[in-house]
Structure formats: structure tokens, C-alpha cells
């Protein structure tokens, strides 16, 4: 017997075809094959396009001091929707953990960040402060989370 040869009993045990206990899993029907994006209703799609316009407008607006803008908004109960939106989106772009991605208005697809924003606004509207706080914590730097919770709540209220 050579150094690399196996005894006959081992060779039979290693290469004897056994009935397979593994079932084939069809990849086509598996929900993890492709990322699952929620289907947006017409109302959600309209709101998303409106949010995209606000994101574009805020990118063109002058950059205010983040904390000063929050103090000014906190002291005024009758803040316009546009001022709330600009403050929110400017703070979000400055204090998010990574670059936020908003598509152009009218785009069919929705980015993960846009879905996150829709969920955040939905949580505030439902009065679910804990869920809204968790969503903010998921995307915003720790030092800015308190202000972004405030700004997002004001923005959701103004919408």
C-alpha cells in the first residue's frame, strides 16, 4: 500500500453514494434573493415626491447654524412647512452617519433613505415616539439625535 492510498473499506465509505437528505431550495421564490422594497401606494408616492422637492430646495438654501436654527424653531409654534423642511433636511445632511440618498422627484424607485424617511414620518404621525427615536438613532450621529428627533417631529407635524 502506498503512502497516499486508502484501505478499501475507507474508500468505499468515502465514495459510496448515500441518499441525499438535502432538498433543493428554489431560489426564485426565496424572499432573500433580492432586496425587498415595499410597494408604495399612490398617496405614499405623492408624499415621497413632495419630500424629494423639499430635499432639493434645502440643498439650494443657505446653510444655517444647526443649533441656532433648532432654537429658533423651538421658540416659534407657527413655523412654515418650508422652513421646517429646510432645517430638517439641512440637519440631516450635516449630521447623518452616512450620505443620504434622495432620488429626483418623479423617479419610480425609492432609495433606502427615502423608505426610512417615510417610516420616520409615519412613526411620528402614529404617536410612536419610541419607534421614531429608534429610526433617528439608526441614521444620525449621537450628538445630533436629540435635535433631529425634534426637527423630524416638527416636520411631520407641519406636513
Tens of pLDDT, residue by residue over 17-44, are: 555 565 555 555 544 444 555 678 888 8
Q: What percentage of the chain carries pLDDT values higher than 90?
A: 18
Which region holds residue 83: left if phi is over 0, alpha if psi is between -120 and 50, else beta?
alpha
pLDDT at 125: 92
Whether residue 112 is predicted with pLDDT greater than 50 in this model: the reply is yes
DSSP code at position 144:
G
* pLDDT, tens digit (0-9, with 9 covering 90-100), for 145-159: 888 898 888 888 888
Scan for cell 432620488, then name that residue: 103
CA distance 100 to 108: 18
Amino acid at each position: 500500500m502506498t503512502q497516499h492510498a486508502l484501505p478499501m473499506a475507507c474508500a468505499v465509505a468515502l465514495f459510496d453514494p448515500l441518499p441525499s437528505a438535502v432538498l433543493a431550495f428554489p431560489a426564485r421564490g426565496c424572499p432573500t434573493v433580492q432586496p425587498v422594497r415595499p410597494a408604495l401606494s399612490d398617496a405614499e408616492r405623492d408624499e415621497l415626491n413632495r419630500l424629494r422637492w423639499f430635499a432639493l430646495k434645502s440643498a439650494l438654501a443657505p446653510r444655517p447654524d444647526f443649533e441656532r436654527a433648532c432654537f429658533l424653531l423651538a421658540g416659534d409654534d407657527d413655523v412654515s412647512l418650508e422652513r421646517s423642511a429646510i432645517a430638517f433636511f439641512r440637519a440631516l445632511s450635516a449630521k447623518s452617519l452616512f450620505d443620504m440618498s434622495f432620488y429626483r422627484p418623479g423617479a419610480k424607485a425609492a432609495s433606502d433613505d427615502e423608505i426610512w424617511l417615510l417610516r420616520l414620518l409615519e412613526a411620528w404621525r402614529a404617536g410612536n415616539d419610541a419607534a421614531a427615536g429608534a429610526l433617528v438613532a439608526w441614521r444620525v450621529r449621537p450628538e445630533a439625535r436629540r435635535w433631529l428627533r425634534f426637527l423630524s417631529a416638527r416636520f411631520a407635524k407641519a406636513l
